[in-house]
Chains A and B, each alone.
Chain A
Amino acid sequence: MANVLGTEHDLNFKETELCLGLPGGIGGGGNEVDSSPKTSGKRGFSETVDLKLNLQAKETGMDLNKNLDNGSKEKPVSAKDPTKPPAKVQVVGWPPVRSYRKNVMASNKTTGEESEKASSAAFVKVSMDGAPYLRKVDLKMYKSYQELSDALAKMFSSFTMGNYGSQGMIDFMNESKLMDLLNSSDYVPSYEDKDGDWMLVGDVPWQMFVDSCKRLRIMKGSEAIGLAPRAMEKCKSRA
């Protein structure tokens, strides 16, 4: 797809200051714009936005644009288009409904209808010990612990998640492995669940985690040790 943005390569500033040419040169009649990488809810954050982009960009600028292009190919589908399926990709911040309202409406739709709709967002606050400000992430943007981990790594660049098992889950049953993780100086993410308990991230399957996580806190492994016993208890009682 011809990249609208690529036509800006030969921008001449003298031109822009003196007169405004016809619209022909810039993007023609196309009104398709590459939306920000975040618009593709289907792809994990890490695929389109990570530090790899920087390296690629140094080689050729077009690579970057291509990445954006790929990321944004799935545009919001017009209901009128008969060839596309009705699945809807969420555009960040559209329609312009505030988070508070979105969350209230989401919690109102308890049962009925397709609760599988990628409709409501699941914004949770993320704090990291020592970081100057909170971030918010939409858990529904990610499909696995790995994707979440990558996104968090991006946000808090000094954060590296400890060693997670192949499923991306902590093996709670293996006490020694767990203790290794917690004794390292790595950061460990913990979360507050629906019951108000602070648990270690990775103790339950991903979807269950998304449904029960109310907020995240990234803490040093050594501090998280206090959580482990309770988390293990809860884990065992679930099994």
Chain B
Amino acid sequence: MHKKTAFSFPDEVLEHVFSFIQSDKDRNSVSMVCKSWYEIERWCRRKVFVGNCYAVSPRMVIKRFPEIRSIELKGKPHFADFNLVPDGWGGYVFPWIVEMAGAVPWLEEIKLKRMVVTDESLELIAKSFKNFKALVLSSCEGFSTDGLAAIAASCKNLKELDLRDCDVDDLSGHLLSHFPDTYTSLVSLNISCLGSDEVSFSTLERLVCRCTNLRTLRLNRAVPLDKIANILRRAPQLVDFGTGTYAADLRPDSYSDLAGAFSSCKELRSLSGFWDVVPDYLPAIYPVCSKLTSLNLSYATIQSPELIKLVSHCPNLQRLLVLDYIEDSGLEVLASSCKNLQELRVFPSDPFGVEPNVSLTEQGLVAVSSGCPKLQSVLYFCRRMSNEALVTVAKNCPNFTRFRLCIIEPRTADYQTLEPLDVGFGAIVQYCKDLQRLSLSGLLTDRVFEYIGTYAKKLEMLSVAFAGDSDLGLHHVLSGCESLRKLEIRDCPFGDKALLANAAKLETMRSLWMSSCAVSFRACKLLGQKMPRLNVEVIDERGPPDSRPESCPVDKLYIYRTVAGSRFDMPPFVWTMEDDPSLQLS
């Protein structure tokens, strides 16, 4: 038992106080005050976030926090989203589930991102956690509808089943029919990524009917438009709705049915889905537009005039995801209609086309930056950019927290001056003092990295592609960006020097990814030897790196800090560089 002095509180009091402290950072600080606080805190921590599933072992986590109710894990590096991480690299959740199944039977919530989840894992979850409430799988793969069926069938208290952008094996197992008739606790269901899994509409309707707490429902493309009205009428309390395919033969009765159904949803604030849109059916959502805060039209292949009409009806929009069909003209209307806009994502309709297929340029971005004072987060794909535009955007939006610009053609210069875009991005980091996330593109020299190292003091995540001239660029970033946690680089001429000179920095970051750069195998080995708390993984499908000269560059390099040592689940094309205790610094 803890020694009590005249000045300390009983444990129960401290525990009660700690229960008001939710943020991980604060909890970590609390645990460092003294040994007794560490002990009390660890027994009452309920949520754990592990940003890299290989940074720590499941056993270590559970040993320290035996009473968690919620765990969030992230697996593969972000560039896995773009097929840069070969399949089989890792990120398996099963060992975590096994460990928790035994030690944490009261686990309620599991959130996973970019992990490999098998049906076996899902079945184990379904069996092991009696009070399981929420499963959120984001960009995960490796499982089928069979595994999901086990969850549906067994988890009586399930509130949330959220599959975002997952790659699910559709075995047409009629997932929804596995929810028992007695099951009513569903609050959030997102099956939008299920492809061909045919939904039995009567099953869906009955599920929606009996789950009166349902707030979020995102259907998949297979659900036809003429079924939506019935579903909406059974769930007028919905806050977040994702349609299936938004196409049907035009019939006045089905149109008015749909419009009526939407009007009955007074709480609706977020809409998504909209695959295969038939524009004539769009006005059916007008009744809810004035209250909409979030609209995802990023799969809707509708043209600018329809988008303009739609957007003009949504004055309270905070978040818009849309294809570049919106064009500069549509973005200008957005800028004048949606003064509360905080987040904008414009995706390319034809990413591989050589010539632009739409009239979307830097002008649209400038217009939005000028008209929307609350704009904080931008993802913008376009085909041309200028320093002038970027400087304007930077000055208009000093509150940016996330700025991701993708100029589709690598190394595209300022279209007006033909200069690199260093100055433009430099302005972004200089004016946007709270910038946390930045993705670069276009023609960029080492200079842009000098700006970033100098000004981007709050930057946590940086993505770089086809940029820079030399190691100096990488050196600027590693030595200057104090808050940097994640750095991902592809196709840049960065080599050994900057990496080795800033080896210690890597321990302060979550991870570094470098592919198609100029880092030699020799440098990787050296880094691995000298830095025992880093895993230096060489990923190379050409064969063992020691079958080539040491000076040869490795194909892909993934470095991350860890207290768990080397992992054991590596496929044949991944090598971890060994520690060498005799070579350690200090």
Inter-chain contact B352/A90, CB cutoff 8 Å: yes
Q: If the complex has contacts A8-B551, A11-B522, A76-B409, are A21 and B497 also in contact, measured as CB distance less than 8 A?
A: yes
In the assembled complex, the CB of A13 is this many whole angstroms from the nearest CB of chain B, namely 6
Inter-chain contact A101/B541, CB cutoff 8 Å: no
Partner of B472, one of A20, A79, A86, A135: A20
Inter-chain contact B495/A98, CB cutoff 8 Å: no
Inter-chain contact A98/B446, CB cutoff 8 Å: no
CA distance A76 to B501 in the complex (A): 33
Q: How many A-B residue pairs have CB under 8 A?
A: 190
CA distance A25 to B408 in the complex (A): 30
Q: If the complex has contacts A23-B469, A78-B411, A79-B354, are A11 and B490 also in contact, measured as CB distance less than 8 A?
A: no
B348, B355, B542 — most chain A CB neighbours (10 Å): B542
In the assembled complex, the CB of A6 is this many whole angstroms from the nearest CB of chain B, namely 8
Q: If the complex has contacts A33-B516, A35-B516, A78-B412, are A119 and B571 also in contact, measured as CB distance less than 8 A?
A: no
What's the dominant secondary structure at chain A's contact region? Answer: loop
Inter-chain contact A102/B351, CB cutoff 8 Å: yes
Inter-chain contact A132/B83, CB cutoff 8 Å: no
Check A64 for interface membership: any CB of B closer than 8 A. yes
Check A93 for interface membership: any CB of B closer than 8 A. yes
CA distance A104 to B297 in the complex (A): 13
CA distance A36 to B557 in the complex (A): 13
Inter-chain contact A20/B352, CB cutoff 8 Å: no
Q: If the complex has contacts A8-B553, A79-B409, A133-B87, are A101 and B518 also in contact, measured as CB distance less than 8 A?
A: no
Partner of A61, one of B167, B406, B549: B549
In the assembled complex, the CB of B556 is this many whole angstroms from the nearest CB of chain A, namely 8
In the assembled complex, the CB of B58 is this many whole angstroms from the nearest CB of chain A, namely 20
Inter-chain contact A16/B491, CB cutoff 8 Å: no
Which residues of the other chain, A, contact B542 by a CB distance below 8 angstroms?
37, 49, 53-54
Check B493 for interface membership: any CB of A closer than 8 A. yes
Residue of B nearest to A11 (CB): B496
B79, B165, B411, B466 — most chain A CB neighbours (10 Å): B466
Check A31 for interface membership: any CB of B closer than 8 A. yes
Inter-chain contact A20/B354, CB cutoff 8 Å: no
Inter-chain contact B352/A16, CB cutoff 8 Å: no
Inter-chain contact A95/B351, CB cutoff 8 Å: yes
Residue of B nearest to A45 (CB): B541
Which residues of the other chain, A, contact B466 by a CB distance below 8 angstroms?
31, 33
Which residues of the other chain, B, contact A27 by a CB distance below 8 angstroms?
469-470, 493, 495, 518
Inter-chain contact B82/A134, CB cutoff 8 Å: no
Check A227 for interface membership: any CB of B closer than 8 A. no
What's the dominant secondary structure at chain B's contact region? Answer: loop
Q: Bits for A45-68, please: 1 = Cβ < 8 Å to B, else 0.
A: 000010101100110010011000
Q: Bits for A90-122, please: 1 = Cβ < 8 Å to B, else 0.
A: 111111111111101100100000000111100
CA distance A95 to B381 in the complex (A): 9
Residue of A nearest to B141 (CB): A134
Partner of B406, one of A5, A22, A95, A119: A95
CA distance A95 to B463 in the complex (A): 13
Inter-chain contact A16/B469, CB cutoff 8 Å: no
Check A230 for interface membership: any CB of B closer than 8 A. no
Which residues of the other chain, A, contact B95 by a CB distance below 8 angstroms?
none
In the assembled complex, the CB of A36 is this many whole angstroms from the nearest CB of chain B, namely 5
Partner of B350, one of A22, A28, A119, A133: A119
Residue of A nearest to B196 (CB): A196
Inter-chain contact A105/B350, CB cutoff 8 Å: yes
Q: If the complex has contacts A76-B409, A86-B354, A91-B410, are A26 and B495 also in contact, measured as CB distance less than 8 A?
A: yes
Which residues of the other chain, B, contact A236 by a CB distance below 8 angstroms?
none
Inter-chain contact A33/B493, CB cutoff 8 Å: yes
In the assembled complex, the CB of B228 is this many whole angstroms from the nearest CB of chain A, namely 19
Check A30 for interface membership: any CB of B closer than 8 A. yes
In the assembled complex, the CB of B463 is this many whole angstroms from the nearest CB of chain A, namely 8
Q: Bits for B377-408, please: 1 = Cβ < 8 Å to A, else 0.
A: 00001000000000000000000000000101
Inter-chain contact A20/B490, CB cutoff 8 Å: no
CA distance A228 to B93 in the complex (A): 38
Inter-chain contact A11/B551, CB cutoff 8 Å: yes
In the assembled complex, the CB of A126 is this many whole angstroms from the nearest CB of chain B, namely 9
Partner of B493, one of A16, A26, A92: A26
Inter-chain contact B352/A118, CB cutoff 8 Å: yes
Check A34 for interface membership: any CB of B closer than 8 A. yes
In the assembled complex, the CB of A196 is this many whole angstroms from the nearest CB of chain B, namely 9
Check A88 for interface membership: any CB of B closer than 8 A. yes
CA distance A51 to B408 in the complex (A): 34
Inter-chain contact B518/A64, CB cutoff 8 Å: no
Partner of B301, one of A36, A95, A108, A154: A108
CA distance A33 to B467 in the complex (A): 10
Check B431 for interface membership: any CB of A closer than 8 A. no
Residue of A nearest to B492 (CB): A33
A11, A31, A78, A93 — most chain B CB neighbours (10 Å): A31
Check B211 for interface membership: any CB of A closer than 8 A. no
Check B84 for interface membership: any CB of A closer than 8 A. yes
Inter-chain contact A49/B352, CB cutoff 8 Å: no
Inter-chain contact B498/A20, CB cutoff 8 Å: yes
In the assembled complex, the CB of A124 is this many whole angstroms from the nearest CB of chain B, namely 12
Which residues of the other chain, A, contact B446 by a CB distance below 8 angstroms?
23
Check A165 for interface membership: any CB of B closer than 8 A. no
Which residues of the other chain, A, contact B116 by a CB distance below 8 angstroms?
133
**What would 10 A/B residue contacts be, using CB atoms closer than 8 Å?**
A9-B551, A11-B522, A26-B495, A51-B543, A54-B543, A57-B547, A86-B355, A93-B490, A133-B571, A134-B88
What residues make up the interface of A, taking CB atoms closer than 8 Å to B? 4-5, 8-9, 11, 13, 15-17, 19-24, 26-31, 33-37, 49, 51, 53-54, 57-58, 61, 64-65, 76-79, 86, 88, 90-102, 104-105, 108, 117-120, 123, 132-136, 138, 154, 157
- 10 further A-B pairs in the complex, CB-CB below 8 A; given A31-B466, A33-B518: A13-B500, A16-B496, A17-B501, A20-B498, A22-B472, A23-B446, A33-B492, A78-B411, A104-B299, A117-B352
What residues make up the interface of B, taking CB atoms closer than 8 Å to A? 79, 81-84, 86-88, 116, 142, 165, 167, 193, 275-276, 298-299, 301, 347-355, 381, 406, 408-412, 439, 445-446, 463, 465-472, 475, 490-493, 495-498, 500-501, 515-518, 520, 522-523, 526, 541-544, 547-549, 551-553, 555-556, 571-572
